[in-house]
A and B are shown apart, each in its own frame.
Chain A
Amino acid sequence: MFVFQKKRKPKHQKTLSAMPFNEELSDDLSENEKIVTKIFHNCGDFIVRPIQINGKPKILMFYLEGLLDTKNLEIVMLKPLLFQGLPEGLGEITSLKQIIDQNLIPGSSFKTVSKLEKLVEGVLKGELGIIVDGEKNALLADFKGMEQRNVAEPATEVTIRGPRDGFTENIRVNSSLIRRRIRSTRLKLELLTIGELSRTDVAIAYIDGIAPESLLKEVRSRLSRIEIDGILDSEYLEEFIEDVPYTPFPQIQNTERPDIVTANLLEGKVAILVDNTPFALIVPMTFWSGLQAVEDYYERFWYTSFIRIVRYVLFNTTMYLPSIYVALTTYHPKLIPTTLLISVAAAREGVPFPAIIEALIMEFVFEGLREAGIRLPKAVGSAVSIVGALVIGQAAVQAGIVSAPMVIVVATTGIASFAIPRYNLGTALRLVRFPMLILAGIFGLYGICIGFIALTIHLVNLRSFGVPYFTPVAPQIPSDLKDVLIRAPRWADRYGPIFTFGRNKQRVDSGQMPSPERGGADQ
């Protein structure tokens, strides 16, 4: 790790920080126009629209094209001012106050700003700036209407049953998707701006009274420490605020589903929404939440419990199957049932490589196929699967370069790794698999045991915002185990996770198990 720690160099000059504005707004309209056009010099999308009233330039409107709804602007602002004239009896417009007070503009959100900096910031956000002759203050009107993607089904987290809306790139839309699910004033959205140049909106979402104050404080302080030029995705934040940077395992959950965010908020966790990305962050994350899918909560608990156990098995398959295969065939063939061993031996007959090399080659090829499958344009995508299936799967076996059992093992492992609901946990596993394989190739089962112990030690040492990664298994919290290996029915799992939800609170009232004594429709 010392590689990454360089000696402290003298601090670079900060090029990131916003340029300070020396000028101040004056009460002369033409003066102001000069100032504004100077600030937005060479910004091709900057548009200034002076409006004359009674022949004299009176109002100056300016905005960045594309960030606001021009059509709306024309109807709401320009038409009445230019063609229809002001309502009778109002006289001349002398102040900004008058515009608002006398409801001259039927816009929804206005604010008066006196500082040039605020004015510029507002315009950059997509608001309409209005300056009136003879006024030192300016007006910002909200006509935001950027082109954006519609709310659609999230591509990465698909369900059979359950809501189908996903986050978009617009933080306002995203927050509204959460707000629609929690119609309470206790749902709070604290706004921050991060990124010196990008000025990205970031919102900390939580439910007041449920999310622990200590966690909130930690989130706020970690976020406020970030100094960076721009934020393009929530992952940028993730790397700054996670507890242990040197681990392949994710300590912050991400999702593009508002229902997942809402469910976690109800459990007392905190979500971080970032503008321009559909992925929201949820802290703290535990290892087990990496193995829980949304659908677990939308299907009957029997099926969910079963599928969870399947997932745990697949998890271990991903981690250990190739290693165990290599270890058993090269070090401990005694442990394989005779008939199976003979089959494996027959398949390995004539394979030129040792099992460990064979496994590494195949794993490598599989990772390559997977990567190519994602990156290739859709039109060529099918070519990859054909090449993968035919060339790697069949031809290589027939040519005697790899053995058939190895192909089966690698394919099973690959499929198993995709059965893990959180994609970033799956990628971590795929990474860890390689050292495990090498350990198995050098030390056999002994190596796998060492790898297992080392991995377990590493995992239990991880923290996510102070919450141990293996909660509630280690440290063990019996009441929280109802949602780990199995999912208890909702009326039985009455409490939230202790680390975030706290004690002495309950989510579900007691005694709600349906039964004839509770009365039915016909009573």
Chain B
Amino acid sequence: MKKVFSLLICLVILTGCWDRKELNERSIWLATGWDVAEDGGVEISGQIVIPANVQTQGGGGGATGQGFFAISAKGKDVRDALQNMQAKLPREAFFGQRRVIFLGEELAKRGVKDKLDINGRSADVSLRTDIFVIKGGTAKEIITIANPLEKSPVIATLKEHQESGGRGDTAYLNFLTAANRDGITPSIPSIEITKSLEGKAAGKEKSPNPKLLRLAGVSVFDKQLKMKGFLNNEENRNILWVMGFLKKMTITIKDGGGDKSIDLRSIRSKIKPTFDKNGKPSFTVTLTGEGALTENNSGLDVTYADNLRRLEKEFSKQAQDHVQQTINKVQKEYRLDILGLGEILHRHHPNRWKKLKTNWDQTFPGTTITVQAKIKVKQIGMSGPSLLYRESEIKK
């Protein structure tokens, strides 16, 4: 009995209500933004849920007002800024559900190496978080833009990222692993402000043409974690395909006789390093993809296997060319190995890598990278040729 009691007492003394906090004493952050403050410190901005506005209670009418609000404060580092912020925030900041990090473009250009430590140190935050560089803007600005579909706009950006086949909430983890390795330089997806209807002036928040956030490709960082520039969405997809992150993609062939599109679902990439006599490395990238033919505006009857094979070749050719162009651009323009080819080399030939490691940054731009693509059409949809063509026009 005494043993049991002493055990119970130990339980009470040795632990305790160290982090007991009711939900309505916490302010749930969904996103944190980093910007440059004038004095060289950081300006932290946050998007916080207003629970009462998110949920309708007891059927008493719809939710009124925004489901979130934005807040920001300046400081020497994040905690300092948060301390300053707490003075105007009635509840303790809770980062356990933070899903997205926004980095202002200016901050990204100046470098983030000495800024983001808190994301790996705090036990509160999750490493599974999405991260974006804001193309032509600041985090503070982005964090106020509502989304008409999602109660919290941040979740909307995360979903946009995932739906368009990107890295989603593994983006920050990828960034981290790239940041502290030799054979790869980091890249962070980027986002920009646009509006619902292109080419028209954006309306107010609740209008049918509100401001929206759009995925804007990827930003390229160097080893010092300073941003060097952007790649557009298509280039982003090509790079992700090579890296093996891409989950879905649509390829369209421009053709005078009618454009054709394929939706790729099962996408893979295989990179094989080889060496010539001088020990100079080269890479063969084999891209494979399977998918459904979703559009065929030509009179080509795809129920014939020959036609289908020809179509597959065309798709493969196009994918191959585009990926090759993107890789060339990365090699020439940025001269940074964001594809992680160094890491591939490291994995395949650890001994050779030891020698190559030191000046990989100089070697990479001159390396030969050959791209091969194999695309297969698995489904052709409901009709062979387009139904708009007459019998005589159909190419069999």
Contact B51 A333 (CB under 8 A): no
Query: Which residues from chain B contact A334 at a C-beta distance below 8 Å?
Result: 96-97, 124, 126
Cross-interface CB contact of B23 among A330, A397, A443, A446, cutoff 8 Å = A330
Cross-interface CB contact of A343 among B12, B55, B97, B99, cutoff 8 Å = B55
User: Which of A69-77, A86-94, A206-214, A348-356 lies on the face that meets chain B?
Assistant: A348-356
Complex CA–CA separation, A334 to B124 (angstroms): 8
Complex CA–CA separation, A458 to B58 (angstroms): 43
Closest A residue by C-beta to B58: A398
Complex CA–CA separation, A332 to B126 (angstroms): 12
Assuming the A-B contacts A330-B20, A334-B97, A351-B24, are A346 and B58 also in contact, with contact meaning beta carbons closer than 8 angstroms in the complex? no
Assuming the A-B contacts A342-B49, A342-B55, are A329 and B97 also in contact, with contact meaning beta carbons closer than 8 angstroms in the complex? no
Contact flags (1/0) for A309-335 with B, using CB distance below 8 Å? 000000000000000000001111110
Complex CA–CA separation, A348 to B23 (angstroms): 7
Contact A349 B52 (CB under 8 A): yes
A148 to chain B, nearest CB (A): 48
B93 to chain A, nearest CB (A): 12
Closest A residue by C-beta to B95: A334
Query: Which residues from chain A contact B12 at a C-beta distance below 8 Å?
Result: 442
Complex CA–CA separation, A350 to B50 (angstroms): 12
Query: Which residues from chain A contact B97 at a C-beta distance below 8 Å?
Result: 333-334, 336, 338, 341
Q: Decide yes or no whether A347 CB sits under 8 A from chain B.
A: yes
B307 to chain A, nearest CB (A): 46
B119 to chain A, nearest CB (A): 14
Complex CA–CA separation, A354 to B20 (angstroms): 10
B146 to chain A, nearest CB (A): 15
Contact B155 A338 (CB under 8 A): yes
Complex CA–CA separation, A339 to B22 (angstroms): 17
- Total number of A residues with any Cβ neighbor in B under 8 Å: 33
- Total number of B residues with any Cβ neighbor in A under 8 Å: 30
Secondary structure at the A interface, as helix, strand, loop or mixed, is helix
Query: Which residues from chain B contact A347 at a C-beta distance below 8 Å?
Result: 55, 57
From 52 to 83 in chain B, residues with beta carbon under 8 angstroms from any chain A beta carbon are 52, 54-55, 57-58
Contact A345 B51 (CB under 8 A): yes
Query: Which residues from chain A contact B11 at a C-beta distance below 8 Å?
Result: 443, 450
Closest B residue by C-beta to A337: B97
Cross-interface CB contact of A346 among B1, B52, B126, B152, cutoff 8 Å = B52
Complex CA–CA separation, A59 to B99 (angstroms): 99
Output the residue of B15, B24, B151 with the most chain A CB within 10 A: B24
A349 to chain B, nearest CB (A): 5
Q: Decide yes or no whether A155 CB sits under 8 A from chain B.
A: no
Contact A2 B22 (CB under 8 A): no
Contact B55 A330 (CB under 8 A): no
Output the residue of B26, B52, B57 with the most chain A CB within 10 A: B57
A521 to chain B, nearest CB (A): 50
Q: Decide yes or no whether B9 CB sits under 8 A from chain A.
A: no
Contact flags (1/0) for B192-211 with A, using CB distance below 8 Å? 00000000000000000000
Query: Which residues from chain A contact B151 at a C-beta distance below 8 Å?
Result: 342
B245 to chain A, nearest CB (A): 23
B158 to chain A, nearest CB (A): 9
- Further pairs besides A348-B51, A443-B11, A444-B20: 17, Cβ < 8 Å: A330-B21, A330-B22, A330-B23, A331-B19, A333-B26, A342-B49, A342-B55, A342-B152, A344-B23, A346-B54, A346-B55, A347-B55, A350-B24, A355-B22, A394-B58, A398-B58, A443-B15
A-B contacts, 16 listed (Cβ < 8 Å): A329-B23, A332-B96, A333-B96, A334-B97, A334-B124, A341-B97, A342-B54, A343-B54, A345-B24, A347-B55, A347-B57, A348-B51, A350-B52, A397-B58, A404-B57, A443-B15
